[in-house]
Structure formats: structure tokens, C-alpha cells
Amino acid sequence: MATQQICLQLHIKIHRAENPDDEFEEFLNIPHLAVCDVMKSYYKEFFYESLKEYSNAPHPDTCPLPPEHYHLRDYPLDARRLGRFLIPGYYRFVSKLTKDDEIKIEYLLELQVN
């Protein structure tokens, strides 16, 4: 495995609340995923096909990831797809891509599952 990929990691935390005004509690915490492992599994299985026409997202077999300016434009997020995996409630997803413990990208997604 290339040195570049050893230091690129994905961190995911999901918090959940019954109601939007309730305190959000940790629902799932995945602290360290190697980017190449994510590319070959979750990314390939759940994301790549829906992303590729809206972005210059790399193919799942691309590893190590080449330095590039990646973009995502006009992506129609369908939160119903996430609802298949979650119980009803309010959710906050925080995803961070880090390199040598420095945050390079951070996403926040909030949604309601009925």
C-alpha cells in the first residue's frame, strides 16, 4: 500500500435524536477507515454509481488516490435511500477526511427519517 494512503483516513460519526429539539446522542462512531478500504467497499457498493455523472469522482479501483480537485455538482441527494438503514428520528452525520491527523474535508448532513 502506498504511503499516501496510509495517512488518508475517513472518520464518520452519526448522532440521533427523537425530536429536532432533543439532545443528539451518538448513534454510530467509526473513527478510522483507510481510504483505499472505503473505496473498495462502501464507496463502490453504495455511492460511486450515483456520483459519477455529477462529479469527477475517482473509480473505486483507483488507489492510491491521485492529487486532484474533485467536485460534486447538482447531485440530487435522495435521503430515502438512507432511511432503509435507519430507524425514525433526526440525524446528524459528520464525515471527515484526514491526512496525518489534519482535516482536509469535512461534511455535515442533517436529515429526518420517518
**DSSP readout, 42-68?**
IIIIIIHHHHTTTB-PPPTT--SPPP-
Residue 93 pLDDT grade (very low, low, confident, very high; cuts 50, 70, 90): very high
Whats the size of the chain, residue-wise? 114
Beta bridge partners of 94: 13, 108
The number of domains in the chain is 1
Q: Which domain holds residue 77?
A: 3-113
Q: What percent of the chain has pLDDT over 70?
A: 93
Share of the chain above pLDDT 90, in %: 60
Q: Of 36, 31, 26, 43, which Cα lies nearest the Cα of 6?
A: 36
Q: φ and ψ at 105, to 5 degrees?
A: -145, 140
More confident residue, 26 or 101: 26
pLDDT digits (tens, 9 = 90+) for 36-83: 999 999 899 988 999 999 999 999 999 888 888 989 999 887 767 776
Q: Which three cell numbers stand for residue 84?
A: 432503509
